[in-house]
Amino acid sequence: MDKHLYNLPDLESENGEWDERAHSRQGFLRLCFWSVTGLSLTAVGGGSVRFLLGHSLTAPAGEWIEVGALNELPPGQMHRVTYLLRTTDLWRKGELRGVLYAYSEDGSSYTVLSGTCTHLGCNVRWDDAQQQFACPCHLGLFSRQGEVLSGPPPKALNRLETRIENGKLLAFV
Ligand code: FES
């Protein structure tokens, strides 16, 4: 066995021959130690990096989705639409479910709001009787236009970009 393989100190000549079995055992234990250490560092380090990166590597959920045909979106009514986006990052594939609300005052222009509460991300619900959005998590309230009426939400519901194509309303989520 090559004594330099494990970076061992030179033996004094009076100590006689190398004890190959001792060196093998020592080398084996050293190999085990560094293997376990390396694996542990990889696991902990990889997990930490993944934690720090969070969803920053997730492909942006920028996608046009169909809200509905215009003739199915009568003015004055709030329309709830759910959607599903497929996402990927370096480690995994996932699904992103979302809710949005569309309405039109006059049938010529449309407003589409994200249904995700701006406080901690729960889905808000439209309360037709109260004519407002209510978040079930911490009782945040939003107006029909998405402005904060009360509760902890720090800002209005996100207003989504829209376009009309072939008689259908699309929203960019
Ligand atoms: S998540 Fe909506 S009020 Fe807290």
* CATH architecture classification, 64-172: 3-layer Sandwich (2.102)
The full length of the chain comes to: 173
- Signed CA dihedral, 77, 69, 160, 138: sign only: positive
Whole-number mean pLDDT of the chain? 82
Is 81 a residue whose pLDDT tops 60? Answer: yes
- Residue 59 is predicted with a pLDDT of 47
CB contact at 8 A, 81 and 99: yes
User: Ligand 1 centre from 83 Cα, in Å?
Assistant: 20
Name the band, by pLDDT with cuts 50, 70 and 90, for residue 12.
Answer: low
Q: What is the mean pLDDT of residues 69-80?
A: 94
Q: Which residue has the higher pLDDT, 14 or 77?
A: 77
pTM over 0.85, yes/no: no
Q: Which residue has the higher pLDDT, 49 or 134?
A: 134
Q: Which atom of ligand 1 is nearest to the CA of 138?
A: 3
Q: Which atom of ligand 1 is nearest to the CA of 153?
A: 3
What are the extents of the domains in the chain?
Answer: 3-53, 64-172
Give the count of alpha carbons within 13 A of 78, CB side only. Answer: 21
Render pLDDT for 92-104 as a digit per residue (tens, 0 to 9): 888 888 999 999 9
Give the separation between CA 116 and CA 49, rounded to whole angstroms.
28
Q: Which residue has the higher pLDDT, 61 or 132?
A: 132
159 CB under 6 A from ligand 1? Answer: no
Q: What is the mean pLDDT of residues 57-81?
A: 85
140 CB under 6 A from ligand 1? Answer: yes
Q: What is the mean pLDDT of residues 100-115?
A: 94
Q: What is the mean pLDDT of residues 130-148?
A: 97
User: Ligand 1 centre from 32 Cα, in Å?
Assistant: 50
Give the separation between CA 81 and CA 122, rounded to whole angstroms.
15
User: Ligand 1 centre from 116 Cα, in Å?
Assistant: 9
Q: Which residue has the higher pLDDT, 30 or 153?
A: 153
Q: Which residue has the higher pLDDT, 5 or 30?
A: 30
User: Ligand 1 centre from 117 Cα, in Å?
Assistant: 6
Per-residue HEC secondary structure of 135-166 comes to CCCCCCEECCCCCEEECCCCCCCCECCEEEEC
Is 68 a residue whose pLDDT tops 80? Answer: yes
- Residue 85 is predicted with a pLDDT of 86
